[in-house]
Structure 1
Amino acid sequence: MRARTTLVAATAVALTTALTTALTTALAAPALAATDDHAATGTAVRAAVAAGVPGVTATAQDRRGTWSTTAGVGNLRTGAPRSADDRYRIASITKTFVATVVLQLEAEGRLSLDDTVDTWLPGVVRGHGHDGRRITLRQLLNHTSGIYDYTSDPEFTTRYLLADGFLKHRNDTRTPGELVGIAMAHGPDFTPGTSWSYSNTNYVLAGMVIEKATGHGFGQEIERRVIEPLRLRATSVPGTRSTVPSPSSRAYSKLAPTAEGRTYDVTRLNPSLASAAGEMISSSADLNRFYSALLRGRLLPPQQLKEMKTTVRLDGVPNLSYGLGLMDQTLSCGVHVWGHTGGIHGSASVATTTADGRHSLALNFNGDWAGDLNQVLEAEYCGN
């Protein structure tokens, strides 16, 4: 994925146009094993810095143990390097955590994926053609609801993604209801269940459903059900907290539609603008632990994990499909990896693991206008 300051990369959207382009490579190459010394991965990380990313941190976990590498800087002013222990904003990777909680609630009999949105949030999804009585929770989680993505709203773009607006409004608190309200001012993208389109509004709503079903905020449920059991010490759901806990690096953005111009320090921001669609913070080691545990069945019963891995194909992208908060990607060497990508101001990340959960890789760029995340994945899993 080429990280850049666009509407997608700056607001917790995982599927950028560049990622889609990168994933359309041919699948004719034979399967290859990753190199034992991770040399190709280190080369790809350094290439990202050479391409303009300020700094990169990456950690892999496989049968040989844990391996980490960093390149570039974590602070452009001081020249301090990035750390393998860096915490960073994981943006849309949050969606896998949210989907995991919803599926746990289904396993407990507290809700059904076939429930309509209106069952839990009566009247919330209504207006300009939207109708929560016709949309299921499953369609929220796999992005087949057709609900308009609030981050595509022109006023939202001006206020939070471009320099003048962001610098004035970076500390704004936005409630989930306000974010959904932005989406309801627009028409849906399609009739529910007839197509696929990535929409952050889906997961804001999923977070609201978690709160309605449990009486607790989605962040509290993630902490209780996922973070604490797995001992994810570097992972948090910050709510409205604008800072990133130490150790961490600075995050940088052009705050413009192109990669040209001034570079801004965007580390400090109120993540409520992303809500359950992408407000979380974590580290590469924690993300590896999470995805490995998820795919190995430690967080979900077999039936719910099967539902999560039941994917929708994306038109024109033969080697990428989307399940319930989980992406299935086939790399050029034929290896399947499961995970998610995430982009928010000054932060572009990807976290993946193999189907057996035994080989994982998570990494972060602390800039959103350059570099190729997919190149690092290819290097780690295919040795390319």
Structure 2
Amino acid sequence: MRSARKSSRRAATQPLPDGLDPTADSTAAAPVEPRLIDTGPPHAGHHVYVHVPYCRDRCTYCAFTTVPNAVGQHREFTDAILAEWRATPRANAPRTLSLGGGTPGLLPDNHLQRIIHTITSGYPHAHTVETTLEVNPVNVSMASLSAWRDSGVTRLSIGVQTFHARVLKSFARLHSPDDARRALSMIAEHWGSSWSSDLLVGWGGQSAASLHAELDELLAFRPPHVSIYGLTVEPGTPLERLHKRGPGALVDDDTAAALDEVWTGRLEQDGLERYEVSNFARPGQRCLHNQAYWRGQAYLGLGPGASSSEGQLRWSNRRDVNAWISAARSGRSTREHVERLSPAQRLLEVLGSGLRTREGLSAEALDRRFSPAWRAPVRQAAAQLLAHGLIHLDDRSIRLADAQLSRADRILIELVQRWPGLPE
């Protein structure tokens, strides 16, 4: 799930205020293990992610499961996706569907239509399913927009990343700034109101002034939704090798903090609300699929390397595309790694995603899921964070204080480090 996996920025970007005692031992008291409530029948059909691994080239920062575009394999891949979907027990109709990658727009229109129709059809609310397709600017044309709409796509997410030609080339992106402008113009004029654009920030040499200019250019197209992702160094990527040779691949932490202020202020000035650390939306344009991740709801990942979540259970699929296709089409398990979280780990996972949103998490919903026992370890681990006003906890919700979203990663690390009784 690309949107859910991306990090907003290195955690050290926004330091915590002075006064927190790093030596305070929150683990001295007996750990409290919250009791998970049985969620009943499987709910993994509610939110579905399809990972399409094909790319014409691999970006230098990318650590996702991708392979060179294999046109001759598209039918086999589509058959395997549908076989995996049919083999998955589920009790509920999908509410959202997201196709990412890779470059899912490389799949032929008839294969996209088969996937979308099979997953979303046959349910009373099929016509209301939010169906998002990630697209590359070079794949956007009047013909493709029409075909995607006919296939059942209701929302587009276009990966602009930057308007700087030099930076695009260093990322091994296939599109040019002009390609991005043409694609944005077509989407803005002919697609409708449900679309989003991504920008990457924090690359070496970026300044507040250059980011401001990029935001002005993007906002001229009036995007209903914008995602801003901080460039991160992933193991095994060309960017990691470049970063090891010197610090110039990324901006320093002070510059990163200044960039955060620029994009937060400029987007909110244009009427986009920051509803999650990296995501901004105009009224009625929040991404429902991503909100499901942040609220700790169940999701099903289909395709090579895709991850799934159901209650305390986590699993990920085989990353090798050929091995995954073979397993799916023959009815064998496509899973490569399965993990069962403890109640404390599950609670921390839910907090870790939910506290990245402006509203935080409903206390009532947490009571239903974990019983009111969840409050004790949270109050113990977050004692200093609560005392310094970084986290608010009351009868209605637990959330970060206003203006603390930029520090979310650092605050969450602090919470985990102080969690009572958590294994090293």
TM class by smaller structure? under 0.3
Q: What TM-score does the superposition give when structure 1 sets the normalisation length?
A: 0.24
Higher relative contact order (Cα pairs below 8 Å, separated by 6+ residues): 1
**Whose helix proportion is higher, 1 or 2?**
2
